[in-house]
């Protein structure tokens, strides 16, 4: 199935992805990972929640960690342009039969909680508490020197259907992987903010969250993080990479947090804001698709992901297999 034409004038204007709300089972251990090792900054703390931001971010948080008996994902957060866009989004999701609720979230204005066609929990807001800039407070930089949240990647049971729904929302496809045998989409990368993606879909048992990615200044920051993790008790949390993606051309590393939530460290993809940007097509069997240098990803990368709270994932419609490391 071909990638649908972009919807350049969607019913509501999403600016970008904003934040992820994770449930974690040991907040102190998660703090050691996200703050002491990755270098995210603590912006708020309660008895059971930790709020974090990266160095370039002015909004209050890009990660909320909630202490809970079981790990999972509560919501993927997105910022819209204006309060009016929230009302238009409410109408858009309602018209498609999706649940819609206005919810209270600390440090945010009016927040719309809804979900996509397969139930991925989404929260939209227009205003979040603003904090003073710290991007030139170089004494604060440590770990991998994370600059900003970059994207989500989710497992979808039907990537064609996910792409159609998110295209209607105004997300534009930059790259995609097609299964040559069936002509169906195996994966797709879609953006609002002008990079390769805010949101991606990968064929698999879903929906589940595959990973959340953070942008860092240079590939050397990734090498430094590997040296740090390898000598501070985190070596088992290194999953895949470092390497250069074929798709997105970004330099990458995949690591796992103490509950198994997958985090990508990511830098140097490319600008995509032209409205007539042509999506790049990849064949599922192209060995340079995952990693430009040819190394395939491990099985865990294709099979393991974080569960959305209250959602039972379904088997994927497409059974085609990618290249998996032996
Ligand atoms: Fe990614």
Are residue 230 and residue 166 in the same domain, yes or no? yes
Task: Give the rounded percent of residues in the chain with a pLDDT score beyond 90.
Answer: 97
**Domain of 122, in residue numbers:** 14-127
Residues 253, 300: contact at Cβ < 8 Å?
no
DSSP string, 198-253: SEEEEESSBSEEEEEEEE-S-HHHHHHHHHHHHTTT-GGGEEEEEEE-STT--EEE
pLDDT of residue 142: 97
Q: Clarify whether residues 286 and 243 are in a common domain.
A: yes
Mean pLDDT value of segment 202-231: 98
**What CATH number did the domain enclosing 54 receive?**
3.10.180.10
Query: What residues contact residue 123 under an 8 Å CB cut-off, 6+ apart?
Result: 21, 75, 76, 77, 78, 103, 105, 111, 112, 113, 114
d(CA 75, CA 300): 23
The reply to whether 157 and 59 lie within a common domain is: no
**How many CA atoms are closer than 13 Å to the CA of 48, on its beta-carbon side?**
9
pLDDT bracket for residue 270 (50, 70, 90) = very high
**Residues around ligand 1, an ion, CB closer than 5 A:** 153, 213, 264
- Asked, for residue 164, whether it belongs to a domain, the answer is yes
CA 29 to ligand 1 center in whole angstroms: 24
Q: What is the pTM of this model?
A: 0.97
In this prediction, residue 320 carries a pLDDT of: 86
Say if residue 168 is in the same domain as residue 54: no
Distance 66 CA to ligand 1 centre (A): 23
Do 164 and 92 lie in one domain? The reply is: no
The predicted-structure confidence for 221-262, as pLDDT tens digits, reads as follows 999 999 999 999 999 999 999 999 999 999 999 999 999 999
How many CB atoms neighbour CB 252 within 10 A? 22
What's the CA-to-centroid distance between 47 and ligand 1, angstroms? 31
> What is the chain's Cα-based Rg?
19
Q: Domain boundary at 127, 159, 181, which?
A: 127
Asked whether the predicted pLDDT for residue 294 surpasses 80, the reply is yes
C-alpha of residue 212 to centroid of ligand 1, in Å = 7
Q: Quote the ligand 1 centre to 34 CA distance (angstroms).
A: 18
Q: Which of 1-5, 26-30, 150-154 shows the lowest per-residue confidence on average (mean pLDDT)?
A: 1-5
Residues 31 and 98 reside in one and the same domain: yes
The per-residue pLDDT for range 138-156, each reduced to its tens digit, is 999 999 999 999 999 999 9
């Amino acid at each position: 199935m071909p990638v649908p034409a972009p919807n350049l004038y969607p019913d509501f204007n999403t600016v970008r992805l904003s934040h992820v709300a994770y449930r974690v089972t040991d907040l102190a251990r998660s703090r050691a990972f996200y703050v002491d090792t990755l270098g995210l900054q603590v912006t708020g703390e309660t008895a059971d929640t930790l709020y974090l931001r990266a160095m370039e971010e002015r909004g209050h948080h890009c990660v909320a960690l909630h202490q809970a008996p079981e790990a999972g994902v509560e919501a993927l957060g997105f910022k819209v342009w204006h309060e009016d866009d929230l009302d238009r989004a409410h109408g858009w999701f309602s018209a498609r039969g999706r649940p819609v609720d206005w919810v209270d979230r600390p440090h945010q204005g009016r927040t719309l909680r809804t979900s996509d066609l397969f139930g991925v929990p989404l929260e939209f807001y227009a205003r979040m508490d603003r904090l003073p800039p710290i991007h030139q407070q170089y004494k604060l930089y440590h770990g991998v020197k994370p600059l900003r949240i970059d994207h989500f990647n989710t497992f979808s049971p039907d990537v064609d259907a996910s792409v159609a729904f998110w295209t209607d929302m105004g997300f534009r496809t930059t790259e995609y992987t097609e299964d040559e045998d069936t002509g169906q989409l195996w994966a797709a990368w879609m953006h609002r903010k002008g990079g390769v993606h805010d949101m991606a879909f990968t064929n698999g048992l879903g929906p589940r969250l595959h990973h959340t990615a953070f942008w860092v200044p240079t590939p050397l920051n990734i090498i430094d993080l590997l040296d740090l993790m390898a000598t501070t008790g985190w070596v088992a949390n290194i999953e895949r990479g470092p390497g250069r993606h074929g798709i997105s051309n970004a330099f990458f590393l995949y690591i796992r947090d103490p509950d198994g939530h997958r985090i990508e460290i990511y830098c140097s993809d490319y600008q995509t804001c032209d409205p007539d940007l042509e999506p790049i097509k990849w064949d599922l069997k192209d060995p340079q698709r995952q990693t430009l240098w040819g190394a395939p990803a491990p099985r865990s990368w294709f099979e393991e992901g974080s569960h959305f709270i209250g959602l039972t994932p379904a088997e994927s419609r497409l059974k085609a297999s990618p290249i998996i490391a032996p």
